[in-house]
Amino acid sequence: AQSVTQLDSHVSVSEGTPVLLRCNYSSSYSPSLFWYVQHPNKGLQLLLKYTSAATLVKGINGFEAEFKKSETSFHLTKPSAHMSDAAEYFCVVSASYNTDKLIFGTGTRLQVFP
């Protein structure tokens, strides 16, 4: 069965420093992977998605993620954090190749300090 593990429940960074949110996946097939973000009192917004095209995926707001099959990882990065990046981030995998059901990780709360 497909699953994702977000390695950090909380990450704190200073504004202007790099962001790294870690995600490992488990999949019996070539997965579709996503990162969603949830700002306080807001819905889940798609940041980026990987669907077996380029392994380095660029998303919105300067975020990107790299699919590494050898490490079964899909870490989310951003070169320079902004205060507005403070939110909950979810790594998500599609449940199987023939379904659009999504499986969510437990989430990583990103805090950005001035």
Which of 67, 108, 65 is CA-nearest to residue 85?
A: 108
Using the rule CB under 8 A, give the single segment among 11-19, 22-30, 39-47, 68-76 that binds another protein. 39-47
Residue holding tokens 């593990």?
5
CB atoms within 10 A of CB 69: 12
11 vs 59, beta carbon nearer another protein? 59
Under the binding rule (CB under 8 A), the answer on residue 43 touching another protein is yes
53 vs 70, beta carbon nearer another protein? 53
Instruction: Count Cβ neighbours within 10 Å for each residue of 35-53 and write b for 16 or more, e otherwise.
Output: bbbeeeeeeeeebbbbeee
51 vs 111, beta carbon nearer another protein? 51
Under the binding rule (CB under 8 A), the answer on residue 1 touching another protein is no
For the chain, what's the residue count? 114
Under the binding rule (CB under 8 A), the answer on residue 105 touching another protein is yes
Alpha carbons within 13 angstroms on the beta-carbon side of residue 1 total 6
Shortest distance (Å) from residue 104 CB to another protein: 4
Under the binding rule (CB under 8 A), the answer on residue 45 touching another protein is yes
Site of interaction with another protein (CB under 8 A): 32, 36, 41-46, 49, 51, 90, 94-95, 99-107
